Chain A
Amino acid sequence: MLKLAVIPGGICGGCDVALASLGEKLAEILKYYEIVYWPIAVDKKLSNLMNMNHIDVLIYMGAITTEEDAKLAKELSAKARVRVALGTCSVYGGIPGLNALYKPADIIKTISLLVDTKLESSALGLPQPVQHMAYTDVVEPEVLAPGCPPTDKVLDQLTEILLNYAKSGKLEARTMLLGDSESLCNNCPRNPKTTKIAMPGIKRLYEVKLDSNKCFLEQGVLCMGPATRAICTHPCIKFNYPCIGCGGPVEWGSDSGLSMISTLASVLLVDDEKKLLEPGLARELNKIRDVLGTFYKYTLRKSKAYALKNKAGGEG
């Protein structure tokens, strides 16, 4: 039996649920693996895990938000033969990764204002916060399985990898980014009929009656599909909700936010440029209130924008 440890970092629980929902496939995996740690599923103590000499497969879920997270991620990963970053937080920093723009102390200060309680972390015995990171900022995992939460497509691929590893003791590649290496547009169920995307402006969801057969961008709704890795079978889009980019960029290491900014800028009001001129276009672009939150909802921590922030802050 191989040893499988599932380590949760700063996590919302979605990844846990997704992994637990594997059901029969999980049973299949358990023919080869013994779960040595997974707080929500098995009653194994962390101290046991820390004492182990090696772990075969380590699945890390969630962002790194506390010193405890960072320590676990580093120490345990060193013992693991195969490291899996599961979920967008783990791979790209995810939504908690947006916090990376701020110092932990400032975040605590802001929360204090909101909850009207003095949050002296040490005094309350709270974990010491660190600058928010992705798991991939600490180690270089062999398997990257993004998704918020990880999708069936990604989990199926992960299952396959785990089973193959159990049987052959080998991985197919040094680094594997799960999902399909194309963007969501490739197999978009909307199957657009027109040849152009002349985006008619920027609309919020409540402002339009969305035609479920037409491209979101053509209807003025921001959709991150063009630059987002196809890790799913378009559940959001099928439910008439645009892609918000949890799959991350198509290629590991590239920057989907900048690409999407460029794509969007290109197609926005493309037929009315000479009529609206700069002021008219600016007025429309001002409807995007939060550029980082819009284009880097999930991937800020691993982006060039974040690198730029460090550069500007004199850190990094």
Chain B
Amino acid sequence: MARLVLSPRELREYIREHTGREVTACMHCGTCSAVCPVVNFMDMHPAALVRAVQRSAIDLGNLKVIWACISCMTCVDKCPRDVAPGLVIETLRQLALRNGIEPRTYSQMPIDETTPSILLVLYSRKGTG
């Protein structure tokens, strides 16, 4: 898998350019993780992801959360500091795709009895393009 490494500053500026948001404004309150309907299906919950993005401590190639997010944008609505994790995830997803990182496909997703239906639908959409 391709690996994409950006410095914290580059990543922050990239996200600012694409979303208009400042990831460093996050105060780590956890609202995004609390309201996320699929947080249990993520390898890294949204608040933790924002923290990792601040330090650019992510490996886009191996990051599963960006494919698990269903883009419901509840975290964007509720974020008390306009950091908008949903948009950050969206940006990372695009960044990954533009850099030739393979999206995780339908078959690679953890699916069992407890998977919410919205996630199933989304997995299938993302997986089939």
Q: Are any A and B Cβ atoms less than 8 Å apart in their complex?
A: no
B residues adjacent to A (C-beta < 8 A)? none
